[in-house]
Structure formats: structure tokens, C-alpha cells
Amino acid sequence: MAHEYGITKPKGYNVTFHYNPNMERHHFGQTHPMKPWRLTLTKSLVTSYGMNFAMDNYTARTATYEELTNFHTDDYVDFLATVAPQPTPLDVDNMHPDLKFNLGGSDCPLFEGLYDYCSMSAGSSLDAARKICSKQADIAIAWGGGLHHAKKSEASGFCYINDIVLAILQLLRVYPRVLYIDIDSHDGIISQIRPEHIFPGTGALDDNGPRSEHNPGAHHALNVPLNDGITDEQYAWLFESIISRCVEKFRPSAIALQCGADSLAGDRLGKFNLLVEGHSSCVEFCKKLGIPMIMFGGGGYTPRNVARAWAYETAVAINQHKNIPTQIPEHTPWRERFRQETLLPTIEQILGEPRQNRNPQKKLQDIVQHITEQLRFVSH
Ligand code: TV7
Ligand code: ZN
């Protein structure tokens, strides 16, 4: 069936796909925006287009306790492993009395099977990292990962275990310089990471990595603050301007790309006007750099649009995005969930009326200039 689109494995270029079908069985709660089920929908499109024929597909393992405590503290991971789930349904009025490790609130509820969910997410990202380290993959895809907010000893923003940090720690064993790029609407951060210094900076344009006299990671994080309604053209221009400058300066030996899909138009939480085309153009740009890369998932709260973006980006990884038909295949499971039959809906199809764009071109030019200046502190 899948052969109808003529998708075959390219010679001399390997893409690996790391997926654990048990992840999507977990539920954060009825009203919680994070829906692990979006992974099912993504996988459904990937296979209905036959993309699996062009990749090495792996059922991701669960990460071990030792792997999780490579970054997280023992007491935090112990607690995650043993804490009892909250009664359902979970909502804002039904919070855990003490927010130990920031767990049990509405953002990071204690749901059934939480520890398994976390170890599956981390396991898929670690598997991806190992395929990049062993050079068995040029690109490794882990849509179940990308949970960038989790701290060493604390849950945050729907994230419990920071699979990205764990994966980057793996990469650093083999690759001396890792460029971390994040296109999630909640972070928009670019970090350049070398051994001994990992810096998840957050926030303002000036936030460019902790500064202290003995901190070699200072100036190795960049932030790109954006307003509501940014368009494909603007976003792609910013992304390419900034990433090309970063790559030129830092000369990364590997890239970790978080593909958070809440930056898409029509997201339940995000407020941008990006289409799958604009979002995926970031992936395309990174792929063309020819540097080994992990692609992670992340945010994304309108499952049908998340699945479209991540399936299309899988097609970009195997260089089939120009070949696949935009009409979603008839035999796609849950096809009716996509509402429109197209993989690439227009802004009008998604939103009716696009959201007002609050990003004047002048401001974006200033951002690029500012970042160019910040980059003078970076060397390879
Ligand atoms: C990577 N925004 C994660 C993004 C994490 C964002 C937040 C919610 C939210 C939570 C819910 C819910 C929600 C409609 C949206 C300060 C608060 C304000 C909870 C109501 N509906 C990623 C985290 C962010 C939970 N949190 O980057 C259950 O929105 O702003 C906050 C914190 C306190 C908690 N309240 C929101 O994309 C994966 N949370 C409905 C039910
Ligand atoms: Zn997000």
C-alpha cells in the first residue's frame, strides 16, 4: 500500500525513527492541553504515507533510573517513581496539597503511569542520541521527546524529565560542540553547548547564558522574543539569519532541534500564524547544513496540526516532502480527525481570520542585529 508513493530508503543517508506506542496511552487529564495521543496521530500519518519504508524504525526503550539520574537528582527521580497518582479527574480545583518538586499542580499533574511515560519519552530521545553517536543515523527522530522545561530536581510546564538534556549529554560524549535549537512557542531559544556547560537560558533578548567570571558558558545562549501573529516569511527569515550566523561562529558538530508545534497557527495555547510550511522550513534549513541532528517533539496542543507538522517534518528528514501528495491518504487511521483532507492547510482553513501580526519588520531586523553582536563572544 505504502509503495504507491514510491518511498524507498535513500542510499548513504540514514534516518532513524524512535517511537514507543505505549506513550500515548497516558493522560494528563480531560482538560489538560498536553495530549500524548497526538503521537498516535503523527505515527498514523507517517505510516499511511509509507515514510516508514525510508527510515529505520525502532520501538524506543524506556530509560533506566541510572540514565534519568544522569541529569536529575536521585530524590526527585525516586519520588517520581513511587508517588501515587492523584484521583481523576484532574483539574485546577483538585490539586495536590503540597507541590513537592512542583508536582501535582495543574500544569504537572500526577497521573497514572507517570514514571513510565517519562522513561519512555527519555528512552526515545536517548535511543535517538545513541544512533547519532554511533553514526548509524544522520538524522534521528524522537517525537515523544522535546520536554524542555523540566529542571534537575523539579517538574515544570508539562515536563517532568528533561530528555533533551539527557540526549545532549550523550551527544557530548562524541561530538564536541552541540547546537541546541528550539522552535517551541514557549522558548524560542538557541543554545550552543560545549562539554561542561549546559545552559537553558530563558526570556529576554539579553538573556544569553549565565554570566560569571569562571563560567565558560556565558554568551552561549540566545533568545528571540516574538510577539503574537508572526508569519512564515518572517519566522523563516529570522531562523535562517540567526542559525546561519550561529553555525558560522560556533561550528557545531551536532544539532539538537526541538520542533515544538505550538508555534503553529490555530494552536490551543500558541499565538503565532505559522503554517506547516513555515515551521518545517526550519527543519529543512537545518537538514541542509549536513550536520548530524536529533529532531525532538515538544509542545503542540491542537493534535491534528501537530501531527501534520511532525509527519511533514519526517518527510523533510527523508527528503520526500516534495514527492508526497498533499491529500491525506484515504487509508489513514483517524482520517476524519484532521478535519480538512489536506496535509498543508492554509491560514484561512485553520483560523478563518489570521491573528493580528504584532511583529513589525523593523523589530525583527533589530533582533538579528542584536544577536549578531552577541555572537561576537562565541568562538569554536
Ligand atoms: C513544552 N499555559 C510546555 C508549555 C507549558 C506552559 C500554561 C496552561 C494550562 C494548563 C492547564 C490547563 C492551560 C489553557 C497554559 C502559571 C500558570 C498559569 C493552569 C491553569 N489549561 C511546552 C505552562 C503554562 C492544566 N503554565 O513549552 C490543566 O491553559 O503559565 C503557566 C503557569 C499556573 C497554572 N495555570 C496556568 O509547550 C511541552 N499552562 C487546563 C487544565
Ligand atoms: Zn510550548
Ligand 1 near 31 CB (within 6 A): yes
Supply the mean pLDDT for the chain. Answer: 92
Distance, in Å, from the CA atom of 278 to the CA atom of 284, rounded to the nearest integer, reads 10
Residue 249's pLDDT is 94
Rounded distance from Cα 306 to ligand 2 centre (Å): 12
Reply yes or no on whether the pLDDT at 367 is more than 90: yes
Q: What is the DSSP string of 185-231?
A: TTT-EEEEEBTTB-----SSTT--S---TT-TTTT-EEE----TT--
Which residue's alpha carbon is nearest to atom 41 within ligand 1?
Answer: 32
Phi-psi region of 339 (alpha: psi -120 to 50; beta: other; left: phi over 0): left
Indicate which ligand has the atom closest to the C-alpha of 146.
1
Rounded distance from Cα 302 to ligand 1 centre (Å): 14
Indicate which ligand has the atom closest to the C-alpha of 158.
1
Please confirm, yes or no, whether 149 is among the known catalytic residues: yes
Which residue's alpha carbon is nearest to atom 33 within ligand 1?
Answer: 107
Q: Coil, helix or strand for 107?
A: coil
Tens digit of each residue's pLDDT (9 = 90 or more) over 61-111: 999 999 999 999 999 999 999 999 988 655 545 555 568 999 999 999 999
pLDDT band at 3 (very low <50, low <70, confident <90, very high): low
* Side chain identity at residue 150, one-letter code: A
Look at 207 and 184; give whichever has higher pLDDT.
184
Ligand 1 near 299 CB (within 6 A): yes
Cell 569562571 found at: 214
Cell 526527585 found at: 76
- The one catalytic residue in 18, 27, 32, 149 is 149
Residue 377's pLDDT is 86
Residue 70's pLDDT is 98
pLDDT band at 203 (very low <50, low <70, confident <90, very high): low
Beta-strand pair 221-223/56-59: unpaired
Reply yes or no on whether the pLDDT at 200 is more than 50: no
Which residue's alpha carbon is nearest to atom 4 within ligand 1?
Answer: 157
Q: Where are the beta strands (DSSP E) in the chain?
A: 15-19, 56-59, 139-142, 178-182, 189-193, 221-223, 254-258, 293-296
Residue 366's pLDDT is 97
CA dihedral 127, 132, 138, 140 (to 10 degrees): 20
pLDDT band at 352 (very low <50, low <70, confident <90, very high): confident
Share of the chain above pLDDT 70, in %: 91
Ligand 1 near 287 CB (within 6 A): no
Rounded distance from Cα 237 to ligand 2 centre (Å): 21
Closest CA to 184 of 161, 159, 209: 159
Indicate which ligand has the atom closest to the C-alpha of 268.
1
User: For residue 16, what are the β-bridge partners?
Assistant: 56, 140
Ligand 1 near 24 CB (within 6 A): no
Which residue's alpha carbon is nearest to atom 11 within ligand 1?
Answer: 32
Look at 250 and 211; give whichever has higher pLDDT.
250
pLDDT band at 197 (very low <50, low <70, confident <90, very high): very low
Which residue's alpha carbon is nearest to atom 38 within ligand 1?
Answer: 299
| ipTM (interface pTM) | 0.98
Cis omega (within 30 of 0) for bond into 360: no
Reply yes or no on whether the pLDDT at 257 is more than 60: yes
For 14-26, what is the HEC assignment?
A: CEEEEECCCHHHC
For 320-353, what is the HEC assignment?
A: CCCCCCCECCCCCCCHHHHCCCECCCCHHHHHCC
Which letter does DSSP use for residue 100 in this model?
G
Cell 489536506 found at: 342
Q: What is the strand order of the sheet 15-19 is part of?
A: 56-59, 15-19, 139-142, 293-296, 254-258, 178-182, 189-193, 221-223
pLDDT band at 298 (very low <50, low <70, confident <90, very high): very high
Tens digit of each residue's pLDDT (9 = 90 or more) over 153-192: 999 999 999 999 999 999 999 999 999 999 999 976 677 7
Tens digit of each residue's pLDDT (9 = 90 or more) over 181-193: 999 999 766 777 7
C-alpha cell at 274: 505559522
What mean pLDDT comes out for the span 279-287? Answer: 98
Beta-strand pair 56-59/139-142: unpaired
* Helices and strands in the chain: count of H runs, count of E runs: 10, 8
Reply yes or no on whether the pLDDT at 264 is more than 70: yes
Closest CA to 257 of 232, 284, 275: 284
Residue 191's pLDDT is 77
Closest CA to 374 of 136, 192, 168: 192
What mean pLDDT comes out for the span 298-310? Answer: 98
**Integer angstrom CA distances of residue 321 from 4, 10, 277, 312, 348:** 15, 14, 10, 6, 22
Mutational pocket test of ligand 1: of 28, 86, 99, 106, the residue with most ligand atoms within 8 Å of the beta carbon: 106
* Side chain identity at residue 376, one-letter code: R
Residue 96's pLDDT is 56
Look at 64 and 221; give whichever has higher pLDDT.
64
Reply yes or no on whether the pLDDT at 195 is more than 70: no
Rounded distance from Cα 157 to ligand 1 centre (Å): 6
CA atoms within 13 A on the CB side of 162: 25
Distance, in Å, from the CA atom of 99 to the CA atom of 102, rounded to the nearest integer, reads 5
Reply yes or no on whether the pLDDT at 312 is more than 70: yes
pLDDT band at 10 (very low <50, low <70, confident <90, very high): confident
Closest CA to 71 of 159, 143, 168: 168
What mean pLDDT comes out for the span 319-334? Answer: 97
